[in-house]
Amino acid sequence: MRKSIVVASALLSVGLLAFALPGPDEKAEARAKELLAPFAGNWDTEFSMMGMPPSKGSEVVKALPHGLALVITSSADMGPNGPYEGHGLLGYDRRSGTWQHAWTDNADAGLSVSEGKFSEDGKSFIIEAEEDMGAGPMPMVMTMHVDDADHMTWTMRAKSADAGAAPMMTMKYTRKR
């Protein structure tokens, strides 16, 4: 009888421990929250695109309460092209275990939905997708890099471009204080 009680207690302890330790999904979700956190905030932006003068704007990035997705609102004065407004979502899809990104803005009536990934060091979010820059769809690489706690850099390059080639588009972010 005593042996049965000891075995039952051990099994109960192991069972309770299993509930206390984070499972694989909880670990992935905790990592996702950690990776997304640096992007949240209010940002001043400076945008440059080949063949256009630089423009300044702002971006507000808010984490949803569960911390697994960001809501992005971007605005800028594009000079003769008028005001720019863009909206996006970036988040971890716990059902598929993938990173999803969606974007729409007033410069293009389309809705871009793509899958991305974080770099090994967790400082860059990378999307490889077909984008139409006016000459038909072309494979592009878009990277959002966390430079430090108060600065980020977004770039868009043709996938076929040499590693040292200048990006087609760049946006520099500085956290508002």
127 contact partners, CB below 8 Å, separation of at least 6? 101, 114, 115, 116, 141, 142, 143
| Per-residue model confidence (pLDDT) at position 6 | 42
Determine the average pLDDT of the residues in 110-139.
89
Sketch the domain layout of the chain as residue ranges: 25-175
Residue labelled with tokens 């850099």: 153
User: pLDDT digits over 129-174, tens only?
Assistant: 888 767 788 899 999 999 999 999 999 999 988 878 889 999 999 9
User: Does pLDDT of 10 surpass 70?
Assistant: no
β-bridge pairing 169-175 and 55-63: unpaired
The mean pLDDT value of the chain amounts to: 85
3-state secondary structure 82-98: CEEEEEEEEEEECCCCE
Residue labelled with tokens 């977004």: 154
Contact between 62 and 56 under an 8 Å Cβ cutoff? The reply is no
| Per-residue model confidence (pLDDT) at position 8 | 44
Rounded-to-integer distance, Cα 89 and Cα 4, Å:
54
- CATH for the 25-175 domain, from 1.10.1060.10, 3.20.19.10, 1.10.3720.10, 2.40.128.20: 2.40.128.20
Helix intervals (H) in the chain? 2-20, 24-36
Rounded-to-integer distance, Cα 74 and Cα 87, Å:
6
CA 26: distance to chain centroid?
19
Provide the strand spans (E) within 94-150. 98-105, 108-118, 124-132, 137-148
